Amino acid sequence: MSVTATTWAPLDLPASGKLPFTDYTRWRLRCSPYGDHTWHYLPPSASPEPQPECDRYWLGLEEAQRTAPTLPPAATPLDAARNGYRYFERLQVADGHWPGEYGGPMFLIPGLVIGSYVTGAGFKTEERMEMVRYLFNHQNEDGGWGIHIEGPSTVFGTALNYCAARLLGLKPDHPVALRARACLHKLGGATGIPSWGKFWLSILNVYDWDGNHPVPTELWLLPDWVPIHPHRWWIHTRNVYIPMGYLYGVRFKAEETDLVLALREELYTQNYYSIDWPAQRSYVNPVDLYTPHTMVLEGLYKILDTYESCPFPPLRRAGIRRAYELCVLEDENTDCQNLGPVNKMMNHIVRFHADGPESEAFKKHCDRRADFMWMGQEGMMMCGTNGSQLWDIAFTAQALIETGLGAEPEFRASLVKALEWLDICQIRENPKHHQSAYRQATKGAWPFSTRTQGYTVSDCTGEGLKAVLYIQEHLRDAPKLISERRLCDAVDIMLDLQNSDGGFASYELIRAPQAMEYINPAEVFGNIMTEFNYPECTTSVITALAIFRKHYPHYRKGDIQTVITKAVEYLHKCQRPEGPWFGSWGICFTYATQFALESLSLVGETYSTSAAARRACDFLVSKQRSDGGWGESYKASLRLLAWVEHEQTQVTQTNWAVMALMYAQYPHPEPIERGVRLVMSRQRPDGSWPQEAIEGVFNKNVAISYPNFKFSFSIWMLGRAQRYLDELKAGKV
Ligand code: LAN
């Protein structure tokens, strides 16, 4: 493979991305037996095969053409839940799971495109066209792009996506390019791009490596016990800095093609060749700054910059070799799919550089790019992970059981298929390279997406286990596909993940002091250096263990009790004084509070018995809007601020708030009834709900979409509400 004119040739593109650039009836989603998805464009020669409903839904064809059947109007919340599931079931694929798009962040397509361009890994023309279209559709009014689809324009978003669009074939005089350049220049040009942007531009050879602070791989040569050793960093951060260190160490850069030379002209307000590069290292445009460099980091950089001017070659070589070894271990553990989309594209370049374009590893990397590329109605995006398969199926399965819908003959088969997928998704072994790659155990865990990706996540294991227990224990004659031993393996995984203060973090135990945040070099993210405890992760584990012990009361009884007690203590400690819990992965207080009240209810704490539950409910009720719903903005996550209202009421947050009240056995029906009415009023005649605002967040500053939530949580809430309101009226609560 090489950078050929045919692969990257300029495209003639319409002025706007409103209408598809390709024939949408030709796109097909294919799934591996493990639920890994890839989209394919059928060549004109292919015999036309019918397009499955799932594909049509995600491509927006169903909505555009209104082809879904109209359902009998819902008279009760349970009818509405049933209609919702009738719609959602059509989106389940043959292996039992629900595929879904997982877009939102706007710094992922650039990594994909730059990493592919510099290694000569091509795209199909249709993929290029639809990626550009996605960029067109997410361009802000002012011509720029933000760090995520709802964010204001930043240098990071604008410079990187501008480069991506140009590499994909956008001509420099196209109106979209003109507007983007105008915005970038108004922001002062690309010099002030944050450090991860400096890195990608340097790879593309349109920013000098001298404009970057060092990324020393030598740190990996320190003994493991050193408190700041990189194996102690948060897994996403260390997995990004490993290949980044390698590529910095070898100063990898693209060939100086005409396009590269043109970009050097287009990205800056001054002459590229006159830029004082070292002066840019610590310069980040204020519009981009989320975590400014601390004095500690600046001090550290002074030392590193000095070392960099005369590095000790054998040490540098050993550091680079070590980084390469770690990339190989990660590739072998995940079949080159890797932990996430950022390190995936960096490893792709490392393997190209070290192993060559003909190597098996590089070829595998090229193929695996497709796992992150998703076709949506606005074009083709790069997802935050290779999907959210386990996460979505776990909530849907629990919703079906708790509402009783799963037991209705019409839906039973769908639920059994979901169980089959949960069975396939559970990780059976520890990683191939376990200790040597500093990995947490995985045997018995459920990952966030698929088994191929294969990373333990505390709350995914919790939700996966709950879903399996619900189906196997509550669905009459359900096949017991997952043995007791395997359920116990999942429990072991969770018990080993508790931190000393009782909380649970995301992928691993907290391995380093949290003061490491002082040396966070990525100015656009917060809380990324180490693991932190999260109420959401903690509550999922408490809930899963509490449900597990009801069915298996003897397994590690004492350990489970101790872990739950300490976790509940942690949960009490991190409740905000006003009543809610702060969510780090969903927006925001409604999200975390529903998980918290679910787990408190399982240890007997409800509105009438617990002051904590009462405070939480009163807080939520105080935020209910006059239309009966709730709505929070992603902005609440930015600065640990208090509640931030969204301009519109949101179905998903209304679901979370009502679920929270029901978990706590809130004694008054009105707020629940009003929430139910709001969610029912937003349901369409075909049973679906339209997409509203973005639902998730990460690293404080980035929003991410969970489009299946509008189905799983609406069905769950409405079905439960029916029973809850009946019980409340009958005086049974
Ligand atoms: C996710 C998505 C899921 C999420 C939950 C399971 C919801 C959470 O409770 C634990 C953390 C986890 C697994 C999580 C961690 C960070 C991820 C992987 C993401 C938000 C999806 C994308 C994000 C990842 C870091 C994106 C790549 C960007 C970098 C800055 C490396």
Q: Which H or E run includes 84?
A: helix 77-89
Residue 5 has what pLDDT? 43
Q: Is residue 115 within 8 Å of residue 440, measured between CB atoms?
A: no
Alpha-carbon span 711 to 690, nearest angstrom: 10
Flag residues of the chain having pLDDT under 50: 1-5
Q: How far is CA 511 from CA 225, 570, 672, 721, 725, in A?
A: 10, 18, 42, 42, 46
Alpha-carbon span 82 to 406, nearest angstrom: 10
Beta bridge partners of 40: 28
Residue 545 has what pLDDT? 98
Residue 428 has what pLDDT? 97
Return the axis-axis angle of helices 389-403 and 458-474, rounded to nearest 10°: 40
Return the axis-axis angle of helices 175-186 and 155-168, rounded to nearest 10°: 150
Q: Tell me the backbone φ, ψ of residue 93, rounded to 5 degrees.
A: -95, 170
Residue 637 has what pLDDT? 87
* Substitution candidate for ligand 1 out of 235, 458, 506, 539 with most atoms within 8 A of CB: 506
The string of pLDDT tens digits covering residues 223-281 is 999 999 999 999 999 999 999 999 999 999 999 999 999 999 999 999 999 999 999 99
| CATH of the structural domain 108-379, one choice from 3.40.190.150, 3.90.79.10, 3.90.180.10, 1.50.10.20 | 1.50.10.20
Closest-lying ligand 1 atom to the alpha carbon of residue 528: 30
Residue 192 has what pLDDT? 98
Catalytic annotation present for 459: yes
Asked whether 502 lines ligand 1 (CB < 6 A), one says no
Ligand 1 center from residue 698 Cα (angstroms) = 6
Q: Which residue has the tokens 């708790």?
A: 402
Architecture of the domain made up of 73-100+583-589+604-733: Alpha/alpha barrel (1.50)
Alpha-carbon span 25 to 379, nearest angstrom: 13
Alpha-carbon span 269 to 33, nearest angstrom: 51
Residue 48 has what pLDDT? 76
* Substitution candidate for ligand 1 out of 195, 199, 236 with most atoms within 8 A of CB: 236
Ligand 1 center from residue 585 Cα (angstroms) = 8
Residue 6 has what pLDDT? 57
Ligand 1 center from residue 653 Cα (angstroms) = 20
Q: Is residue 392 within 8 Å of residue 98, measured between CB atoms?
A: yes
Catalytic member of 459, 501, 618, 686: 459
Same fold, 73-100+583-589+604-733 and 108-379: yes
Buried b (16+ CB within 10 A) or exposed e, 385-406: bbbbbbbbbbbbbbbbbbbbbb
The domains of the chain are located at: 73-100+583-589+604-733, 108-379
First-to-last alpha carbon distance for the chain, in angstroms, is: 67
The string of pLDDT tens digits covering residues 74-88 is 999 999 999 999 999
Ligand 1 center from residue 146 Cα (angstroms) = 19
Alpha-carbon span 414 to 98, nearest angstrom: 11
